[in-house]
Structure 1
């Protein structure tokens, strides 16, 4: 297992930093799932923390060859509320829900952690 935690800034550049850290963690851990899915989920979680949360988010990743857990912590106690997806309300939580095997949020200290887990789907075995 590969684990990393990084304190991001409360700037939009944090999204790029989070994606770069995730890309590196996926490669170093040998994660066999779709890397683009994990990068999209990280972008959504960090964006939500920056837009709807408070303070600088903290990214925590635990990655293995077949599973990745992504956590983003911020200082707002307000838990995310799924909405009808669209241009006005965004698609963030719906994207996370579709791409992950499970997700959730938990209060932590004065803030919260929003997390999700993705799993690599084994390639089909074709009989000859």
Structure 2
């Protein structure tokens, strides 16, 4: 089966302990990708999911949509309020800044039943032909 042609989705509960399960799931789904792509994806999914759990509301869904040269990560929550970057402090505010620095692109979509935060990571090794 081609990992890059399948849509993967995981529903999660509102418990912060779900973050460990989500990280494990991402590693399992992306096992055939280069290590740097997997580690970046785990970090981005963790940030988007923790943001949804802390500031959103149920239902929560995490999706991985691998493509030929990119990986799209989507995290849904049931809150309609848009996510926003905050100034970093001792209480947080670094999550979306980290996503912005790691992703080729990111954003959010409002849905009738909440919002989706998404990020896209480049998976193409580039013109050098390097492989992971």
TM range (shorter): 0.7 to 0.9
Q: Find out whether 1:119 has 2:95 as its counterpart.
A: no
Q: Unaligned 5+ residue runs, structure 1?
A: none
Cα separation, 2, equivalents of 1:104 and 1:79: 10
Please report how far the alpha carbon of residue 124 of structure 1 lies from its aligned counterpart in structure 2 after TM superposition. Answer: 7.6
In structure 2, how many angstroms separate the alpha carbons of the residues matched to 1:24 and 1:63?
Answer: 13
- Asked if 1:70 is matched to 2:92, the reply is no
Q: How many residues end up aligned between the 2 structures?
A: 124
Match of 2:9 among 5, 30, 33: 5
Structure 2 regions of 5+ residues with no counterpart?
none
Corresponding residue of 1:97: 100
How far 1:109 moved relative to its partner? 1.7
Tell me how far apart the structure 2 counterparts of residues 64 and 31 of structure 1 sit (CA, whole Å).
12
Alignment equivalent of 2:60, drawn from 57, 65, 83? 57
Contact kept, 8 Å, 2:68 with 2:124, in 1: the verdict is no
TM-score by length of 2: 0.84
1:10-42: per-residue Cα shift (whole Å, max 9, x none)? Answer: 111211121111111111xx3235211110111
Normalised to the residue count of structure 1, the TM-score between the two structures is 0.86
Compared CA separation, residues 57 and 19, structure 1 to 2 (3 A): same
